[in-house]
Amino acid sequence: MFESLSEKLDSIFKKLKGRGLLKEEDVDVALKEIRLALLEADVNFKVVKDFIQHVRDRAVGKEVLESLSPGQQVIKIVHEELCGLLGSVNTRIQLSPNPPTVVMMVGLQGSGKTTTSAKLARFFKKEGRRPMLVAADLQRPAAIDQLVTLGKQIDIPVFHSKEKKDPVALCEDALKQAKLDGRDILILDTAGRLHIDEELMGQLKQIKTKVAPKEVLLVADAMTGQDAVNMSKSFNEQIGIDGIILTKMDGDARGGAALSIRNVTGKPLKFIGIGEKIDMLEPFYPDRIASRILGMGDVLTLIEQAQKSFDIKESEKLQKSIMEDTFSFEDLRDQLKKIRGMGSLESIMSMIPGMGKAMKDVKVDDKEFVRIEAIINSMTPKERRNHNIINGSRRKRIAMGSGTSVTDINRLVKQYLEMKKMMKMFKGGMGKKGFKLPKFGF
């Protein structure tokens, strides 16, 4: 996300921070470069113009230019203005006082609307809600099957009918059923088209009139840049939307849509899709995204992801195994699984302040975790619990079973022993020289 823009801004800010004093001309030169970087990131030209003007109005004041660190002050202003551009605060989906809350998902075909509907339902389920999905896209036959499959995957019911030809009647029936079943969230996956047309808009208007959704959410593909912004504006003008979900943000290195959409439509970004997996949907926090763009990391999101992956009982169990020196290959495998559950290593590192820049030229391969897991899975339960019995013949068998080599097995055992040694030092207090975390990899 925002990789190319982040790199350019980082280069601009390095020059600013390198100067002891700043003149108005220095700020203008930096702003000219920022303007170019934003335009190259496919941010709407009017949005860029207004943004640069706001930053300049604040950055050329006496309190900035005559401060002890004017370069840092300018960066602070850019960060605050970026937050404003993105919407300032996280805007949650409004829940109805009389359940169920109806959420109507709209968007063009190919934007990821059906998958996002399932992701949103899973998000609500994790919050303790009782969602139901509605397969109201009767234009694309595969959409019903896709949503039913996703519903089974996340254990959420999907209201559907292959016989019904009227999506409006289907949505009305779904609302009645949701009330009977005590469902408090109803998510309508409506039809999309390859382009905006009168028939599509007419159908969506009818559904909106008959079912009266609490929220209409537009699903847009971030990788289409300004096309996504223009499409959002058109949907808002024709049927009225309450918020936007940008999908495929993980594949959008520029970020023009995210930086333009709020300003152009006047509607908030509520969620972003950061990957294909069903759990890869994040609430949109403007301040956190602004920090990521400026290379400041996103520690709060990292903590939240860690809390989802690691529960208190498992953490206590791990602590006990460390204190009692019983940390086994099974424990190692469980911990690696949880780290992988937080997302790719690259995305995790991008949230740690300064780590993204430090790891810029380092190739982070998530497949190494898969390989380590395969090796541990090829061990017998006794071998996982007691590494001392893993002799030469056992290592050959484990290598064959995991599709690796004996050298790989030797390396993993060595790294595991280093980790155990480190844990002993941690338990008894660090030595004078401290310790280094072993590097896993082949």
Q: What is the pLDDT along the chain (442 residues), one digit of tens a residue?
A: 677 888 888 888 888 777 767 788 888 999 999 999 999 888 889 999 999 999 998 888 777 777 767 788 888 888 889 888 888 788 889 899 888 999 999 999 888 999 999 999 999 999 999 999 999 998 887 889 999 999 999 999 999 987 777 899 999 999 999 999 999 999 999 988 878 888 888 989 999 999 999 999 999 998 888 888 889 999 999 999 999 999 988 877 677 888 888 888 999 999 999 888 888 898 988 888 888 787 765 445 555 555 555 555 666 666 676 677 778 888 888 777 777 666 655 565 555 554 455 445 445 556 777 888 899 999 999 998 888 899 999 999 999 999 999 999 998 888 888 877 777 665 554 344 443 444 545 4
Three-state secondary-structure class, residue 259: helix
pLDDT at 311: 59
Burial class (CB in 10 A: 0-12, 13-18, 19+), 169: middle
Verify that 379 and 254 share a domain, yes or no.
Answer: no
Query: In this structure, is residue 95 part of a structural domain?
Result: no
338 and 289 in a common domain: no
| pTM recorded for the entire structure | 0.69
Q: Return d(Cα 349, Cα 364) in angstroms, integer.
A: 10
Helix (H, G, I), strand (E, B) or coil at 52: helix
Tell me if 93 is assigned to some domain.
no
158 shares its domain with 73: no
- Do residues 152 and 211 both lie within one domain? yes
Decide if 442 is inside a domain: no
Q: Assign residue 82 the CATH number of its domain.
A: 1.20.120.140
Domain check: are 11 and 53 in the same one? yes
- Domain membership of residue 233 as a residue range: 101-293
Residue 7 sits in the same domain as residue 154: no
Residues 189 and 310 in one domain: no
Structure confidence at residue 148 (pLDDT)? 94
Q: Per the structure block, which two tokens stand in for 248? A: 């495929």
Whether 117 and 253 map to the same domain: the answer is yes
Strand ordering across the sheet containing 243-247:
158-159, 131-136, 185-190, 101-106, 215-221, 243-247, 269-273, 281-283
> Which DSSP helix (H) or strand (E) runs through 160?
none
Q: How many residues does the chain have?
A: 442
Give the three-class secondary structure for 88.
coil
Sequence-ordered list of residues with C-beta below 8 angstroms from that of 99, at least 6 positions apart, any chain: 183, 184, 185
Considering 86, 121, 146, which residue would you say is the last residue of a domain? 86
**Strand runs labelled E in 284-387:** none
Q: In terms of domains, do 279 and 167 share one?
A: yes
Instruction: Give the whole-angstrom CA distance, residue 322 versus residue 335.
Output: 13
Task: Output the six-digit token pair for 261.
Answer: 């959409």
